[in-house]
Amino acid sequence: MIRQKWWRTIGWVCALLWAVTPVFAQVAPEDSGNGTWVVQAKQVYVGDGTVIEGGMLIIRDGVIVAIGKDLEIPSGARVVEVPGGTVTPGLIDANARIESENLLPKLRERGPSGRSHLAGTLPGTAAIPAPDDFKPEPEVEQHEHHEDGVIVEDGVERDDGETPPGDEEDGEVRDAHICPTCDKPHKHASCRSCGPGHDCSACMACVASFVESVGTPEVTSGPSLGPATSPFAIPENGRIRPSQVMARLIRSDYTDIEENLGTCGCTHAKDNYPEQAASGLGPSTIVTEQAAEILPHTNVLDAVDLQSPDFERLLRAGVTTVYVSPDSSAVIGCRGAVVQTGGADRVLRGAAAVKATLGNDPIWLGSVNQGLFFQRVARRVHRRPTTRMGVTWVFRKAFHDTIRRALGVPAYGADTPSVEASEVLAQVLRGEVGLRIQAREQIDISAAIRLANEFGLSFLLEEATEAYRCLDELELARVPVVFGPIFERPRGLRAQTREAGRSRYHTFRSLLERGIPTALSAQELREEDGLARQCMYAMRFGVSEQDALQAVTSVPARLLGIEDQVGTLAVGKRADVVVWSGAPFSSISRPAWVCVGGEPLVSHPRWVNVQTKRQDSW
Amino acid sequence: MNRCFPVRLLALTLGILIGLSASANGAPPPSKVALTGGKIVPVVGDVVEQGTLLIENGTITAIGSDVEIPYDAMEVDCTGKVLFPGMFDPHSWRGLDVTNENLPVAPYLDVYDAIDPSRLYFEDALRDGIASIHVSQGNNCVIGGLTRLVRPIGRTPDAMTVRPALALKISATPKSGFDRMIQLATLRDAFVELDHYLERLAERRYEEVQKEQDKDVDVGPAEARRLGKELIRPEDYDDRHRNLVKLRDGDLGAWIYCGAATDVGPAIRVARENGFLERTVFVLGGDAHRAVQEFRATKRPVVLPTNLTYRWYDPVSAELQEVFVPKVFHDAGVPFALQPHPDSSLAERYLNYQAAQLVREGIPMNEAYASITLRPAEFLGVAKQRGSLEVGKVADLVIFSGDPLEFSSWVEQVYLAGILAYDRARDPRLQTLLGAPEGEAEGDQPEEGGSQAPDPAADSSQPETDQPEKDQQ
């Protein structure tokens, strides 16, 4: 009897649950009429600051084909109407952390011996055969000395007659014992032991003086955002940029030189590969490979499950494009990816910018290597940086070593990046691959700017919790920022970093007021703390609705270099559209209809009225 | 150095306190306040678009669009702002220094001993427009002890108290180290032990009375227990059992925490068997909304979990499922109150935002308003004095800069019993976070005491309106 009652209760509860679960109807493709959708609402927010009252939008074949007022509705089109609603572009989170849970369990399955297997098969650890043309003691050619081999102005190089070191003929093996700047033994001003017989290539002061001689970037002012072609589109305005010099110096064939070095008898040769001391596996929140500290040759997309329910959560919240940002457990971590949260063509950019992290995160996150050994042992084995000095050192050495390799100079030591990593870092130096630096505290933001100036790097600043303390510096350096999340008091992982205690409500507003190109991100936060709510917070703290909207649409699209596809509602762009039940970031409205690439994926029948325009009679 | 530090801290604290109390005694609050020109959202009754709310001696005496303002009233212009009842935090332990998590059965404990008036939580509550806080033991208990309704102002628990000994906190969800069987066995055992105690007490009382009358104990133990029951006086109960007796006899309510749907059935059974079901409020967590029909059948109100949307991955399909919990209870007709979310990074910490979520999901506006004001007042038994803006009620009210449900609205001022307890313009902490010029924020620093100067709690004789409430106990 009692059991029967219970079953009845459970039945009722189940029935009720079923009844109240919000229905996010998946609109079947065959419902979409002739593939044409018309979206109508009270207002259309284009995303660049303009508002069309009573506007409408026509989508065909995944692309916006018309936008405006009183457009003629094509016959056979499906008309989506949200009375009192607002149409905006799909939101873009330029620094999203995706819950990607599928990598680590698989690795764990390998069991304890998996570590050594991994270490043994990593590239670069096998003995490198000596090339036939390797000469142990190349002759030192005497030639006329020039102070500067290359002068670059306005991106056009002016050659002073001497062949620049990077453009040497093939087969000429660089002598490690002469000055890398001029192929001639001479004295570097900053080096005490510089002179004949001194190994300039092994001397950091010499390499530093070389970098100096090439020139440090001059800070100039310019438009807020440059052309879309460069990864972060920072204008150069004719200043001499070392990275341009590097671009010519660093050639893709430098790996041959590296191989030569591998057989030079140098005792450091095999220490070049930190993968040899493969660490244990990190906690499940970490997707960055923990086998080395410098991993720009790995890609976060390999660890992202595109079917992860996390994407669905983002989609429901109106976020249609995300920059999947790697975690901050390595000083120079893997490359991010630009991914759509739904639709057919998900990956917009597979290998985007390299992620670097300054501050405390690589220290405390990276050292949690609790695979086989206890933490302390893993730390000793793996030589992770344990202080801010160490983090800065690893960052600096990674780029120094890349330059050295490009110059045919051996790179060795405990924190030397692998050859593959150097390859990508060389691309970063050349400006072909973007660099994103995560820094929260003022000290780390300043360090990021300092390091970037040292190597002539353009970069994008992530998170920037304490940006309000160095606004002048950021403004001067013209660093774009992906700020966020906004929070009242840190919680979760962010609280554990101990870098979030001095956040301020006004930071985002202040960044905008200074004209610093700033996008807003919710990172790992979802739903009531998610991206749309971040805009709501920003508005509470004094940011206008249109500014908040741009910070999650057109600005991140420009920063990610995808503004020709998404970011605003314009004819010819991908139809990533969100229709909100009211004002976009109001606390009492929500996304009612979301379509990605013209494919409606979320439709809430409570607000959305879908009708098919009848075929014209003939 | 180190040894000196606590002494210095103490001296500093004392200094500040003395400074504050000096300024507090400096200016007596006006007895009549007229808030004019604002939109009044009374929760009970119609919205007044542009009206006046008159407060006399801490009580609302008039509301309307054509209220005559007495000549001696202090007039406060609220044009463009919205007057809203002071909100309720219906269940919180964050005002406590430390909760009791050691003793499972502790009906004799009172949160009074652990309320820490200096906790940042109270300052935050005031800033967020919360006028009444039901302070209770945490959920990590079996029988937690007495709860108390306080307001977020005052320097001692006494000064803060609105109602002492309001209810007994019970948890049906296993405390740490317990499983469900142990938890429920311990809970039942407390009442079985109470029965045994009452029998022993009755027997002893019979013997005592017989002795007083110089009579022999001439009946058997069973008869003595029966006869002795009548002879037990209230002062005979010991501390361990007094509150449980009150709970059974109807002098005390119970707030039972159910962290899962499976806890609801046993919780209702225990409450029914011991006769306090009709005075019980259920505080929910986890998936307890699945037992909505149980609450409906017993006609008991609930305090909803802090996460208003319950999400889970289907164990078979691994697909993300979600249900909006307030809608479940709204559709079933079960009255509910909302809690602020202490772990949210921002918005859900605000009760008005929690209510906004209800409107977003299609629950009527007035129901949303009530769930953070009138409903908790009803559950706590103070709805006659608080929970809405009505003539005759205590003037606990919040002045919002705009629509209370819109997140861009700020709590501008909070009046507690008709006295200005919070003013955003003089909130230096908030000004710092909002990036006001440093001098401005600093300049306001000394006035912080000033803004709280007419501290109704500092003077125990001040809020006369509260006196009858205490007496009702």
Reported as a single tens digit per residue, the pLDDT across B291-328 is: 999 999 999 999 999 999 998 877 787 777 889 999 99
The answer to whether the CB atoms of B406 and A586 lie below 8 A apart is: yes
Instruction: Kindly list the residues from chain A whose CB atom is less than 8 angstroms away from the CB atom of residue B331.
Output: 16, 20
Instruction: Kindly list the residues from chain B whose CB atom is less than 8 angstroms away from the CB atom of residue A16.
Output: 292-293, 328, 331-332
Query: Which pair of structure tokens corresponds to residue B43?
Result: 């929760």
* Cα B425 from Cα B444, distance rounded (Å): 9
Residues B99-133: tens digit of each pLDDT: 888 899 999 999 999 999 999 999 999 999 999 99
Instruction: Kindly list the residues from chain A whose CB atom is less than 8 angstroms away from the CB atom of residue B323.
Output: 17, 20-22
Q: Which of A246, A243, A227 is nearest to A235 (CA)?
A: A227
The answer to whether the CB atoms of B434 and A468 lie below 8 A apart is: no
pLDDT at A102 over 70: no
Residue A42, H or E segment = strand A36-45
Q: Which of A248-257, B135-144, B364-373 has the lowest mean pLDDT?
A: A248-257
- The reported pLDDT for the residue numbered A165 is 42
The amino acid that residue A601 corresponds to is: L
Q: Residue A378: pLDDT band by 50, 70, 90 thresholds?
A: very low
The answer to whether the CB atoms of A20 and B408 lie below 8 A apart is: no
A305: contact with B, CB 8 A cutoff? no
The amino acid that residue A551 corresponds to is: A
Residue B263: other Cβ atoms inside 10 A: 25
* Cα A63 from Cα A42, distance rounded (Å): 21
Tell me what the mean pLDDT of segment B61-72 comes to. Answer: 93
- The reported pLDDT for the residue numbered A6 is 67
Q: Residue A4: pLDDT band by 50, 70, 90 thresholds?
A: low
Tell me what the mean pLDDT of segment A1-5 comes to. Answer: 56
How would you classify residue A165: left for phi > 0, otherwise alpha for psi between -120 and 50, otherwise beta? alpha
Tell me what the mean pLDDT of segment A498-518 comes to. Answer: 93
Query: Which pair of structure tokens corresponds to residue B120?
Result: 């940042």
Show which residues on chain B lie within 8 Å of chain A, measured between beta carbons: 261, 290-294, 309, 313, 318-324, 327-328, 331-332, 343-349, 353, 356-357, 359-362, 405-408, 410, 432-435
- Main-chain dihedrals φ then ψ at residue B256, nearest 5 degrees: -105, 125
* Cα B65 from Cα B82, distance rounded (Å): 14
Q: Residue B217: pLDDT band by 50, 70, 90 thresholds?
A: confident
Q: Residue A361: pLDDT band by 50, 70, 90 thresholds?
A: confident
Residue A558, H or E segment = helix A554-559
Residue by residue, DSSP assigns A447-460 as: HHHHHHHHHT---E
Preferred mutation among A545, A588, A602, A608 to probe B, highest tally of B CBs within 10 A: A588
Residue B249: other Cβ atoms inside 10 A: 11
* Cα A591 from Cα A580, distance rounded (Å): 4
* Cα B130 from Cα B152, distance rounded (Å): 8
- The reported pLDDT for the residue numbered A313 is 87
How would you classify residue A285: left for phi > 0, otherwise alpha for psi between -120 and 50, otherwise beta? alpha
Residues A535-558: tens digit of each pLDDT: 999 999 999 999 999 999 999 999
Angle, CA of B372, B378 and B383, to the nearest 5°: 95
pLDDT at B74 over 80: yes
pLDDT at A493 over 90: no
* Sequence-distant (≥ 6) Cβ neighbours of residue B228 within 8 angstroms: B201, B202, B203, B204, B205, B206, B207, B209
The answer to whether the CB atoms of A13 and B261 lie below 8 A apart is: yes
- The reported pLDDT for the residue numbered A286 is 66
Of the ranges A180-184, A277-281, A362-366, B232-236, which is most confident? B232-236
Strands (DSSP E) along B374-433, which ranges? 397-400, 411-416, 419-423
Residue A506 CA from chain centroid, whole number: 25
Shortest Cα distance, chain A CAs vs residue B373, angstroms: 19
Residues A557-603: tens digit of each pLDDT: 999 999 999 999 999 999 999 999 999 999 999 999 999 999 999 99
Residue B69 CA from chain centroid, whole number: 33
* Cβ density class A87-107: b for 16+ within 10 Å, e for less: bbbbbbbbbbbbbbeebbeee
Query: Which pair of structure tokens corresponds to residue A312?
Result: 């669905």
Instruction: Kindly list the residues from chain A whose CB atom is less than 8 angstroms away from the CB atom of residue B356.
Output: 587-588
- The reported pLDDT for the residue numbered A144 is 43
Q: What is the DSSP letter of A278?
A: -
- Name the residue with higher pLDDT: A376 or B329: B329
Residues A132-188: tens digit of each pLDDT: 433 444 444 444 444 443 333 343 444 444 434 433 334 333 333 455 555 555 666
Shortest Cα distance, chain B CAs vs residue A377, angstroms: 33
Measured between CB atoms, which of B359, B405, B435 is closest to A510? B435
Q: Which of A32-36, A92-96, B316-320 has the lowest mean pLDDT?
A: A32-36
Residue of A nearest to B290 (CA): A13
- The reported pLDDT for the residue numbered A35 is 81
Shortest Cα distance, chain A CAs vs residue B261, angstroms: 10
Measured between CB atoms, which of B291, B324, B433 is closest to A505? B433
* Cα A41 from Cα A242, distance rounded (Å): 51
- Name the residue with higher pLDDT: B281 or A205: B281
Angle, CA of B91, B92 and B97, to the nearest 5°: 150
Q: What is the DSSP letter of B56?
A: E
- Name the residue with higher pLDDT: A384 or A105: A384
A513: contact with B, CB 8 A cutoff? no
pLDDT at B470 over 60: no
The amino acid that residue A503 corresponds to is: S
Instruction: Kindly list the residues from chain B whose CB atom is less than 8 angstroms away from the CB atom of residue A313.
Output: 320
SS3 B326: helix
Tell me what the mean pLDDT of segment B397-413 comes to. Answer: 96
Residues B370-403: tens digit of each pLDDT: 999 999 999 999 999 999 999 999 999 999 999 9
Q: Residue A210: pLDDT band by 50, 70, 90 thresholds?
A: low
- Name the residue with higher pLDDT: B363 or A168: B363
Query: Which pair of structure tokens corresponds to residue A170?
Result: 């093939």
pLDDT at A28 over 80: no
The answer to whether residues B258 and B288 touch, using CB atoms and an 8 Å cutoff, is yes
Q: Residue B352: pLDDT band by 50, 70, 90 thresholds?
A: very high
Shortest Cα distance, chain B CAs vs residue A588, angstroms: 4
Residues A248-307: tens digit of each pLDDT: 344 333 333 333 333 333 323 222 222 222 222 223 456 777 778 899 999 988 888 888
Shortest Cα distance, chain A CAs vs residue B216, angstroms: 50
- Name the residue with higher pLDDT: B223 or A124: B223
The answer to whether residues A281 and A559 touch, using CB atoms and an 8 Å cutoff, is no
- The reported pLDDT for the residue numbered A183 is 58
The amino acid that residue B226 corresponds to is: R
- The reported pLDDT for the residue numbered A218 is 41
- The reported pLDDT for the residue numbered A149 is 39
Q: How many CA atoms lie within 13 A of A394 on its CB side?
A: 28
Q: What's the burial of B420, exposed, middle or buried (CB within 10 Å: 0-12/13-18/19+)?
A: buried
- The reported pLDDT for the residue numbered A281 is 26
A3: contact with B, CB 8 A cutoff? no
Q: Residue A121: pLDDT band by 50, 70, 90 thresholds?
A: very low
- The reported pLDDT for the residue numbered B313 is 76
pLDDT at B440 over 70: no
pTM (2 d.p.): 0.76
- Main-chain dihedrals φ then ψ at residue A256, nearest 5 degrees: -60, -40
Q: Which of A203-212, A339-348, A557-566, B451-460 has the lowest mean pLDDT?
A: B451-460
Residue of B nearest to A583 (CA): B406
Measured between CB atoms, which of B292, B323, B349 is closest to A21? B323
Residue A375, H or E segment = helix A375-382
Q: Contacts by B266-274 with C-beta closer than 8 Å and gap 24+?
A: B266/B172, B266/B180, B266/B184, B267/B170, B267/B172, B268/B294, B268/B298, B268/B300, B270/B172, B270/B184, B270/B187, B270/B188, B270/B191, B272/B298, B273/B191, B274/B191, B274/B247, B274/B248
- The reported pLDDT for the residue numbered A293 is 85
Residues A41-91: tens digit of each pLDDT: 999 999 999 999 999 999 999 999 999 998 889 988 999 999 999 999 999
Measured between CB atoms, which of B261, B319, B328 is closest to A20? B328
Query: Which pair of structure tokens corresponds to residue B180?
Result: 């469900």
A527: contact with B, CB 8 A cutoff? yes
- Name the residue with higher pLDDT: A342 or A106: A342
A586: contact with B, CB 8 A cutoff? yes
